[in-house]
Every structure is written in C-alpha cells, then in structure tokens.
Amino acid sequence: MARSDIFVSYCTNSDRDVAHDLVAYVESRGIECWIAPRDVQGGMEWAEEIVNAITVAKVMVLIFSASANNSPQVHREVMLAAHRGVRVVPFRIEDIAPAASLEYFLGGHQWLDAFPPPVEPHYPKLVSCLNALLSTPTNPPARQDTPSPAAGPGPRQMHQRVAVEAKNLRRLESELAVYIGPFARIAVQRAAAVAPSVNALLEALAGEIDSEPDRRKFLAGCGWLRGA
C-alpha cells in the first residue's frame, strides 16, 4: 500500500461522486490522498487495507452527509482515526448535526461547511486547511487515562464496568472480526472499557454490525460469554 497523507472517508453508497471529485482537486494541488476502492490493492482484504491506510495517514477528510452520519463503516473509520491520533477534518456537505457516537470523536475538530451546493467553491478552503495541518506535528495517539494509586475515587474510578478475562476478549475480537474485519479489535477494547455488564458489552458490539440478521447471529454465537 502506497503511503498517503490524507485518508478520505465517505459513504460509498451516496457520496462517491463528491468524494472522487474532491480527491481529484486536492491531488491536483500536490496533496496525495488515499480513497477506496481506488487505492485498495488487488487481492488484498478491504478492511485490512483501510486500517493500514488510516494508520499511516496524517489527516482524515470526512465527507459528512446524512448518509455518512448513518453509516456504520464511516463510524468505524472515524473511531479508528481517533484511536490512532489522526486529525479529522469533517467536510460537511449537508446541514445536519452528527450522531452522538460521531460527535464523541469529532468534538474539538475543525469543521468545514460546504453547503448549500455546489460544493466545488469550498475546495480551496479545504486545501488551505490541509496544507496547514500537514505543516504541523501529528496529533499524539489517544491514551487511556491511568489513575494515580494515591488519587481519590474520581468519576472514572467509580464507574463500574464488566470484568472480562483477556482470553475471552480475544475470542470476542475473533467472533466480531467475521463481520467487521480488523476494526473488531478497536471496537472490543472501546466497549469493554465502559460496558457495565456482559449484555451491554454484547449489545454494543452487535451495534457495529451492519446487517440485522448478522447481528442476531453474532449475539447467538456469543452465548458462551454469558456463562463464562
């Protein structure tokens, strides 16, 4: 996979034309982008290629629309970018607010509004933003706060979360990876850090799966955890 500084996240079902037009403009200004499916190498596993591309990127451009707001795939890409310390620039092509799960990861990021249509006049502003971001140091990766042993029982410490053995978490990752690929590892780590019960943990993970039949299949196949 060739290195690209900019990863472009978008809803492939509805925003493909905007995404590829935007990439053509940005690359004509000398900024290399990575966008699926164009840059997925033949014979490679799609999800693994996306994980690798986000890992080496410096900035993610999120083409934000109603479709992207409702796309589990887009949510997973933004979550992984946040986990990797990749800056995210939401390029909003529709006047809508982000879903709570996206807002959690996008808080504090610079939003660029590109509505009402046409969006093309807003491309120069995006290029200026990208040049500014690429000229400054990359964000550090997100870290888990580690409370000091001497610290009092603050809100994070008082939160009760389910205790799951490491071997069972690894098994959960394998079960979930059947449906969402390499994103499973990040999803399990995130959910296990906050879930108050096994049922809540499994429901959170099932929510990462696009298909309702597959969600039911995943939950049925994870009955072993409830008895662990």
Question: How many structural domains are present in the chain?
Answer: 2
In a domain, 139, yes or no: no
In a domain, 63, yes or no: yes
125 and 179 inside one domain: no
Q: What is the pLDDT of residue 149?
A: 40
In a domain, 185, yes or no: yes
Q: What is the pLDDT of residue 84?
A: 87
Per-residue pLDDT reduced to its tens digit, 111-128? 999 998 899 999 999 999
77 and 21 inside one domain: yes
188 and 89 inside one domain: no
In a domain, 143, yes or no: no
DSSP string, 125-193: HHHHHHHHHHTSPPPPPP------TTS---HHHH-------HHHHHHHHHHHHHHHTTHHHHHHHHHHT
129 and 80 inside one domain: yes
Instruction: Domain of residue 211: give its range.
Output: 156-226
Q: What Rg, from alpha-carbon coordinates, does the chain have?
A: 19
Return the C-alpha torsion angle 139, 122, 5, 33, nearest 10: 150
Helix (H) / strand (E) containing 33: strand 33-34
119 and 172 inside one domain: no
- In three-state secondary structure terms, 213 is helix
Per-residue pLDDT reduced to its tens digit, 144-199? 443 434 444 444 444 567 888 888 988 888 888 888 777 788 788 878 888 888 88
In a domain, 150, yes or no: no
In a domain, 33, yes or no: yes
Tokens of 93: 């092509």
In a domain, 141, yes or no: no
Q: How many helices (H) and strands (E) does the chain have?
A: 12, 5
Model confidence, pTM: 0.68
Using 50, 70 and 90 to split pLDDT, how confident is the model at 11?
Answer: very high
Tokens of 149: 């042993």
